[in-house]
Amino acid sequence: MIIIGAGLSGIGAACHLQLKHPNKSYKIIESRERMGGTWDLFRYPGVRSDSDMHTLGYSFKPWLDAKAIADGPAIRDYIKESAAEFGVDQHIHYQRKVVAAAWDSTTAKWTLTLENTSSDERRETEILTCNFIYSCTGYYRYDQGFTPDFPDADQFKGQVVHPQLWPEDLDYSGKRIVVIGSGATAITLVPSLAKTAAHVTMLQRSPTYVLSRPDVDSVSQKLRRWFPEQFAYDLTRWKNVTAQAILFQLSRRFPNYVKKLVRKVVHAWMGDDFDIDTHFNPSYNPWDQRLCLVPNGDLFRSLRKGTSSIVTDHIERFTENGIQLKSGEILEADIIITATGLELLLLGGLKLEVDGVEKKVSDSLTYKGMMFSGIPNLALAAGYTNASWTLKCDLTSNYVCRLISYMDRHNYQYCVANNDPSVKRLQFLDLASGYVDRAIDQFPKQGDKSPWKLHQNYLLDIMNLRLGSVRDSAMEFYKAK
């Protein structure tokens, strides 16, 4: 078995495999030189989770740090600790990128083409074979983020930085900074930069829903005093899963109520004098895009202190000393940070071939949110868009282990989800975000009914993936020809 990616979901998948199939042979292929995935790649100031670690952490390894809203380095340490504890760090092959995979039904094997990424020169290739691929690369592109073509961007005399490629030696103390964007990255950056910068301005085209919560879960701390670590962790996990589900369902069913609730939170922090309608009143409903979380109200505190500010406007062009807005206002800056989003890339850009025929995942349906119709022995770890990523990845990894156990017991070599022409095809991700719209045509489709429907519901997925049968009318099992 080949696991692609040594990030949060990849290490979690390997730990599940180690627990359920300790004698199973597997390798973890990681294109970068370190494990950690997203939490190693992103090094910008203040980088942190926007989900609590009791749900973003693994089900089998309690998060013991007091801070439930953790920073990037703490999450990276948690991943490394998990890998070492379960011995999966010995199975990682770094600086190798899987660029192509060809399936042969006569041998029931994948043949993988790997590139050595350790050198910028002509990349050497190597070949591996395996019987199952589990892609844990997420669906973000790692080598670059998204930056729009800003008019006259070359005129700016200062430094332009994308958070995904943050320079280690960037000195921003005492500098005027403009952060372009209003998503989780921008909202994380602004209060962190404002601690030492002369001033930070968050420039947004449109507002985002922002909620505040403490970074320490007081209920979790009490439970840890009363119960064993794993049991206290499980209770906290379920408490937070339930709270997330309630908020999401309220947002879908009673959006105006949730709008008022979020506005009330912002007003409590910012008071009557702040223009909430301009800067914190989005045109869309809650959870049409992800809600943003600020621990301990750090963004609001920074705005109140005056070390940062928000401008809601459109960019006319860049100037030598900053940005000219459509309104005519000039924002002067020494550094411009383009927190303008990410690019999507499913399976890390892997090219697929099945029995000599090229396969595009965009032509397929997703089976149980993890496999693709017409493509054998290939699974994808894709988390939730409305809750913690790892909740779904944990379920998916557990299901893959069950699937392998079933095939081993019955001497099957491979399985394929067969396409159902009666299923109505729907968009894979149910979000109205710009980064989704730009790349959604490269993604598979989901169906309007199970097992083709991609549920954003943890309880329902527990029933389907943990308790449901691995054999149904859509999945066919085969022995090698």
Kindly state whether residues 241 and 311 are assigned to the same domain.
yes
β-strand partners of 197? none
Name the pLDDT band for 335 (thresholds 50, 70, 90). very high
E strands in 235-343: 292-295, 308-312, 315-319, 322-325, 330-332, 335-338
- Does residue 334 lie within any of the structural domains? yes
pLDDT of residue 434: 61
For residue 42, give the CATH number of its domain. 3.50.50.60
By the 8 A CB rule, do 209 and 182 touch? no
Q: How far apart are CA 331 and CA 154, in angstroms?
A: 16
Closest by CA to 363, choosing from 423, 441, 417, is: 441
Kindly state whether residues 326 and 438 are assigned to the same domain.
no
30-40 tens-digit pLDDT: 999 999 999 99
Q: Domain ends where: 308, 338, 368?
A: 338
| Model confidence at 121: pLDDT above 70 | no
**pTM summary value:** 0.91
pLDDT of residue 430: 66
pLDDT of residue 438: 67
Rg (CA), the chain: 23
pLDDT of residue 312: 95
By the 8 A CB rule, do 18 and 49 touch? no
pLDDT of residue 286: 87
382-400 tens-digit pLDDT: 888 778 889 999 999 999 9
- Does residue 148 lie within any of the structural domains? no
Q: How far apart are CA 228 and CA 345, in angstroms?
A: 41
Q: Domain ends where: 293, 318, 338?
A: 338
pLDDT of residue 288: 81
Kindly state whether residues 300 and 356 are assigned to the same domain.
no
Q: Please give the share of the chain, as a percent, with pLDDT higher than 90.
A: 70
Kindly state whether residues 317 and 359 are assigned to the same domain.
no
- Does residue 18 lie within any of the structural domains? yes
> Average pLDDT in the 309-316 region?
94
Number of domains in the chain: 2
Structure-block tokens of residue 10: 């990849």
Kindly state whether residues 350 and 470 are assigned to the same domain.
yes
> Average pLDDT in the 466-474 region?
89
Name the pLDDT band for 321 (thresholds 50, 70, 90). very high
pLDDT of residue 15: 96
> Average pLDDT in the 221-244 region?
93
DSSP string, 323-363: EEETTS-EEE-SEEEE-----B-GGGG-EEEETTEEE-GGG
More confident residue, 62 or 424: 62
Q: Domain ends where: 338, 362, 378?
A: 338
Closest by CA to 430, choosing from 252, 186, 211, 246, is: 252
| HEC per residue, 416-477 | EECCCCCCCEECCCCCCCHHHHHHHHHCCEEECCCCCCCCCCHHHHHHHHHHCCCCCCCEEE
pLDDT of residue 124: 81
Kindly state whether residues 139 and 157 are assigned to the same domain.
no
Domain ranges, residue 62 = 2-143+343-478
pLDDT of residue 120: 61
> Average pLDDT in the 211-221 region?
91
1-38 tens-digit pLDDT: 999 999 999 999 999 999 999 999 999 999 999 999 99
> Average pLDDT in the 118-130 region?
79
Structure-block tokens of residue 8: 């949060």
Kindly state whether residues 125 and 169 are assigned to the same domain.
no
Name the pLDDT band for 93 (thresholds 50, 70, 90). very high
| Model confidence at 253: pLDDT above 60 | yes
Task: Looking at 67-175, list the stretches that DSSP marks H as alpha helix, in order from N- to C-terminal side.
Answer: 72-85
- Does residue 68 lie within any of the structural domains? yes
Kindly state whether residues 319 and 405 are assigned to the same domain.
no
> Average pLDDT in the 133-156 region?
86
pLDDT of residue 224: 92
> Average pLDDT in the 163-182 region?
93
pLDDT of residue 437: 64
Kindly state whether residues 95 and 167 are assigned to the same domain.
no
**Percent composition of the chain: helix, strand, coil (DSSP 3-state, to 5):** 35, 25, 45
Name the pLDDT band for 344 (thresholds 50, 70, 90). confident
pLDDT of residue 142: 80
Q: What is the DSSP letter of 388?
A: -
> Average pLDDT in the 88-96 region?
94
> Average pLDDT in the 77-97 region?
95
Name the pLDDT band for 347 (thresholds 50, 70, 90). confident
Q: How far apart are CA 297 and CA 358, in angstroms?
A: 50
Kindly state whether residues 196 and 329 are assigned to the same domain.
yes
Kindly state whether residues 116 and 174 are assigned to the same domain.
no
401-453 tens-digit pLDDT: 999 999 999 999 999 998 878 888 887 766 656 656 666 777 888 888 889 98
Least confident of 158-167, 217-226, 445-454: 445-454
